[in-house]
Amino acid sequence: MAEILYGKNAADAMRETLKHETEALALQGITPILAIVRAGERGDDLAYERGAMKSCERAGVGVRRFVLDADVTETDLIAVVEDINKDDAIHGCLMFRPLPRGIDENRVRNTLAPEKDVDGITDLSLAGVFTGSGDGYPPCTARACVELLAHYGMELAGKRAVVVGRSLVIGKPVAMMLLEKNATVTICHSKTKDLAKQCRAADILIVAAGRAGLVDASGISPDGIVIDVGINADEDGNLRGDVIREDAERAKAYSPVPGGVGAVTTAVLAKHVVEAAKASRRDG
């Protein structure tokens, strides 16, 4: 029977540590604050926002929301980001994307001050992940995969890791983070030949493709650890991962959807805000 890697366990442990850190910061008169910038009322954004607010509250991190119309102009959105940059009481910023149509996303995301980029959206943060310089913050979901593995004591050095997906939000940064931990990493994508064979060869398999049931039993090794990042809603609105759950159960260990990586992502977000608040105290 596979070990189930529950995200809640990892997230609760992270928030417990964060609570102590925010209490220590409070004694110095500092409350870490996250700004949430959202344009419009997309259901996915609202659900994530609720989760992020709850997670931050439990970690002792405050939240300020900047809710804009779905037809906000690029100029107005940039003005909001610039205000956040200037506000010393705000330590981090989560910006929901994709941004409304017609807005130059590259321009807006790179307006954010790198030291407040707690979800790894600026080029500088991404460069930090790729150079290993430690500058900026990695995207929260990518780090959540690594934190989940660490919480359950999964060794990465020397292991063969296979990542399915090469987006800048998950696939590429998580591959770099695994490499940093001395795993031997293969990145697969939609043009990869014989995906099942690649997946089956993995000691650590991370699937972030956004295709329900993409990986079935033919891609699962009985000795493998499977981290399913995919979130796909079926016709009844139930959430499904990229890996068929019954087949993931053939692995040594797997993270379920829901209840796996998603639960860790908002704890990582809170962690990054606390790290940013500590860094601002050092720099200030």
What torsion do the CA atoms of 89, 93, 94, 95 make, to the nearest 10 degrees?
Answer: 120
- Of 80 and 231, the one with the shorter C-beta distance to ligand NAP is 231
Among residues 155, 141, 161, the alpha carbon closest in space to that of 230 is found at: 141
- Of 9 and 232, the one with the shorter C-beta distance to ligand NAP is 232
Which residues make up the interface to ligand NAP (CB under 6 A)?
141, 164-167, 169-171, 188-192, 195, 208-211, 214, 229-232, 261-262, 265
- Of 34 and 188, the one with the shorter C-beta distance to ligand NAP is 188
Q: Mind giving me the DSSP string for 179-207?
A: HHTT-EEEEE-TT-SSHHHHHHT-SEEEE
- Give min distance, CB of 89 to ligand NAP, in A: 27
- Give min distance, CB of 255 to ligand NAP, in A: 9
Q: Which two tokens stand for residue 174?
A: 């998580």
- Give min distance, CB of 277 to ligand NAP, in A: 23
- Of 110 and 192, the one with the shorter C-beta distance to ligand NAP is 192
- Give min distance, CB of 60 to ligand NAP, in A: 22
Give Rg (Cα) of the chain: 19
What is the spatial distance between Cα 31 and Cα 277, in angstroms, rounded to a whole number? 8
- Of 92 and 230, the one with the shorter C-beta distance to ligand NAP is 230
Element (H, E) at 3: strand 3-4
Element (H, E) at 79: helix 74-86
- Give min distance, CB of 32 to ligand NAP, in A: 21
What is the spatial distance between Cα 116 and Cα 122, in angstroms, rounded to a whole number? 10
